[in-house]
Chain A
Amino acid sequence: VTDRQPRCIVVGIGNRWRRDDGVGPAVADAVSRGTTAGVAVVTVDGEPGRLLEHWRDADVAVVVDAVRTDDQPGTVRLLDTGQCPPAASSSSHGLGLVDAIRLGRCLDELPSRLIVIGIVGADFAHGRRLSPPVAAVVEPAARLVRLIVERESRVSGAPSAP
């Protein structure tokens, strides 16, 4: 038992102006509409330094990011952060989530529990609107995030989202 309040954070990564790349922030928005106090919800561009700043003091971090794979657009996957592939980021700095995880591991600045949810995107062109298959999974992905937060909070004693 500890007096310290465990911290839980939900991080939506992406650029809202590059269509499906904005699905991370869109899911974060959906999560924040129902989140109780004690669970922070932030959106970031994926720059590793800023990611580390957000999650370094967290007990539980749930990160949502768009991914490119051969899967159907809109597929939602829980990614294994222990087996990150080589960085293949579309970040303007050539650095992104994978680098942030590897960097955090080197600097001992990862949260106690890091869960990454990848949502397969179809269209990363300029524009604000998510493609239909990706837009359709925003609310289900947000429900998944809330379930994970609730489960992990029970495990760690962190406050839970509804």
Chain B
Amino acid sequence: MTSGDRSNRSLSVSALARVEGEGALDVEIRDGRLHDVRLRIYEPPRFFEALLRGRGFNEPPDITARICGICPVAYQMSACTAIEAACGVTVDGPLADLRRLLYCGEWIESHALHIHLLHAPDFLGHDGVVDLAASQPEAVRRGLAVKKVGNQLVELIGGRPIHPINVRLGGFFRVPTVGELQAFAPRLHEARDQAEAIVAWVAGFDFPDLTGDWELAALRHPGEYPIMRGRLVTSGGRELDADDFESQLVETQVPHSTALVGQLRDGGHHLTGALSRFVLNADQLSAGASAAARRAGLGTDTRNPFRSIVARAVEILHACEEALDIIGGYVEPERPAVQVEPIASSGCGWTEAPRGVLWHRYALDGSGTIQSARIVPPTAQNQPAIESDLRRFLEANLTAPDDELARGAETVIRNHDPCISCATHFLSLRVERR
């Protein structure tokens, strides 16, 4: 919806499509200048942190998984690592490998979904995946095939493709046999080759000019691409442990959002997610993913948010290769889980959800009853960065017709694959020109 003359207008997208969750965007233009940009998040708050209080310490992996149908594994893994940290338990060896393998499945399915069903249509002039499928059916078939392999991998390790039921503190209820994993490998080999083609496909898109002004933030751990562990490092030179994050993050409430907006203390907006992971960890990519990124022209100096779709495709390839590597070296653990006993303590944990760093903290009493819980999802952290991208994009395109402006703005938002459901967030565009 638009109103006003050319120099004074308001543009409203009242229900953003192709994002996860419900939200809207309001843009106000006065005297030909951008006056205000508000990303309105009106999906109702869900109070997960409150409802976790008083529950047993072994329940958050299943309860928090319900926050999101796209990245339940991320919630399970962050919950497990935080509670295990509180209880002084470290899960390593084959059980840690299996967790990573499960997470690879989620990255594959989530990234394949976002690229093909939500984001790629923007770059090819289509209104959505149906139009894209009409013009490039093979590309959509390929994307859905890769997504299916990701879902199947989550099902193989997690028991079902959505909201896995096989995850518990300390590991799993049941671990797969070597034979089960090896039987799955051919599908991953095929998905790996398809992912290579996806990287080449998205690298050929026409990307608008835009340079982000964010501080890139991602986990980093020696010898591995960040998924399950690490310190938070930033392009601004910060290094934080999970225990430090809460004191360095400032969360504020804004009137137009039901989500808290998170920013690092003493800094501008930071950006977490695929592009940040790539820039800060490109040296740790698998060989094939690294080569594909080079061929795609994706370098560590990339700051154009539109090119995040290429980083996401590179990460699909990396996840396929890493999954194959884990399967190749898999030795069935003696026990499906290590014992985790509650102690009166507090613990923090974080992992790299497909959309970025997902941090959890739990305080337990001696019987394992949760005294407090706090969850910081990636989209809540990225909201200021997204609004900054929107301002920069809109200021550079103020004379464009409203429909063009709205379409561009929505693409800017989709660059960061926001999950409004996770952040209690997301999207519809209103531009006011006055």
Contact = CB atoms under 8 A, between A and B. Distances in A.
B133 A95 contact: no
Contacts of A93: 18-20, 113, 117-118
A143 interface: no
Contacts of A48: 117, 129
A49 B148 contact: yes
Range class of the B interface residue count:
20 to 34
Nearest to B137: A107
B210 interface: no
Contacts of A65: none
Interface in B124-169: 128-130, 133-134, 137, 140-141, 144, 147-148, 151, 161-162
A106 B21 contact: no
Contact of B162 (A45, A53, A94, A108): A45
Interface residues of A, number: 19
Given A17-B66, A106-B134, A107-B141, A49 B147 contact: yes
B133 A50 contact: no
A103 B130 contact: yes
Contacts of B297: none
Interface string B10-25: 0000001111111000
A103 B162 contact: no
B331 to A, nearest CB: 32
Contacts of B17: 94
A106 B20 contact: no
Contacts of B141: 107
A92 interface: yes
A99 interface: yes
Contacts of A126: 46
A52 interface: yes
B151 A95 contact: no
A13 B141 CA distance: 22
A53 B148 contact: yes
A102 interface: yes
B76 interface: no
Nearest to B141: A107
B16 to A, nearest CB: 8
A92 B21 contact: yes
A92 B18 contact: no
Contact of A95 (B117, B137, B140): B117
Interface of A: 17, 45, 47-50, 52-53, 92-95, 99, 102-103, 106-108, 126
Given A93-B20, A93-B117, A126-B46, 18 more contacts: A17-B66, A45-B162, A49-B113, A49-B148, A53-B151, A92-B20, A92-B21, A92-B420, A93-B18, A93-B19, A93-B113, A93-B118, A94-B17, A95-B18, A106-B130, A107-B140, A107-B144, A108-B137
